Amino acid sequence: MEQSTKPRLAILGGTGDLGTGLARRWVQAGYHVVIGSRQAEKAAAAVADLRAVMAERNIDVEAVDTVEAAENLQAAEAADIVVLTVPFAHQASTLEQVKPALLGKILIDVTVPLVPPKVARVQLPSEGSAGQIAQNLLGEEVKVVSAFQNVAAHHLKEGHSFDCDVLVSGNSKEARQQVITLVEAAGLRGFHAGMISNAAAAEALTSVLITINKQYGAHAGIRITGLDH
């Protein structure tokens, strides 16, 4: 068996809807994915589910073998690129816990700073964005890249293709490019959206999409237009 040159991914909070959707996409694309959770048994259940879904989709055994379960810290240690998909309320505490395992790595922050119960209302934090909070907390030795805030978990979990672009913000252009490669592996288009402070745009947009979803009974997303002119 040839060794993969793809980065090994950890998805912290990987038992949630968005983490589950991303895991399915990336395993299907041939990535080795470690599902992280606060409780190892929850992560193990998510992995079992993931394997069952891959089997249903007739994904080959090798791909199914490339997924494993761990507690969040062990998951982060085992990975080259770490993805954070926990609720905003747990963002800081999770990052504090895994910080030692992130040095020199890319942290993909998928956090949306929703403040329940009014999740359809934009309520950005005083730091400007959850992405900025992560970068401040982790320091410049971790390349924080914000992405996937506007992607409906519903669509990610299904195997079908769907129409949604991903805004990718971060202070390192090279790190953004690596994340755009992962966006494309998930079947989507990614765009360089600027420095980490620009994560505010995608994060705020999520509440607008929730507002639109309520009206249309939909799982709305966005597409960047006007690029051919």
Q: Which of 167, 179, 183, 186 binds its own copies (CB under 8 A)?
A: 167
Q: Which secondary-structure segment (H or E) carries 213?
A: helix 199-216
**185 part of the interface to its own copies, by CB under 8 A:** no
User: How far, in whole angstroms, is CA 90 from its chain's centroid?
Assistant: 15
Please give the C-alpha separations between residue 112 and each of 63, 203, 204, in angstroms, as whole numbers.
30, 5, 8
**211 part of the interface to its own copies, by CB under 8 A:** yes
Tokens of 85: 């998909």
Stretch that binds its own copies, among 25-33, 75-83, 115-123, 179-187 (CB under 8 A): 115-123
Q: Which of 152, 166, 179, 182 binds its own copies (CB under 8 A)?
A: 152
Least gap, CB of 23 to its own copies (angstroms): 21
Stretch that binds its own copies, among 20-28, 67-75, 102-110, 162-170 (CB under 8 A): 162-170
Tokens of 57: 């989709």
Binding mask 25-64 for its own copies (x = CB under 8 A): ----------------------------------------
Verify cis geometry, omega within 30 degrees of 0, for the bond prior to 100: no
**66 part of the interface to its own copies, by CB under 8 A:** no
3-class DSSP state of 157: helix
**117 part of the interface to its own copies, by CB under 8 A:** no
Residues in the chain, overall count = 229
Residue closer to its own copies, measured from CB, 4 or 123: 123
Q: How far apart are CA 52 and CA 66, in angstroms?
A: 13
Size of the site for its own copies (CB under 8 A): 45
Which has the closest alpha carbon to 13: 32, 41, 36? 36
DSSP state of 98: H
Under a CB-based contact definition with an 8 Å cutoff, are residues 107 and 98 in contact?
Answer: no
Stretch that binds its own copies, among 15-23, 29-37, 97-105, 124-132 (CB under 8 A): 124-132
Residues at the site binding its own copies, with contacts judged by CB under 8 A: 120-124, 128-129, 152, 155, 162-164, 167, 169, 191-195, 197-198, 200-202, 204-205, 207-209, 211-212, 215-216, 218-229
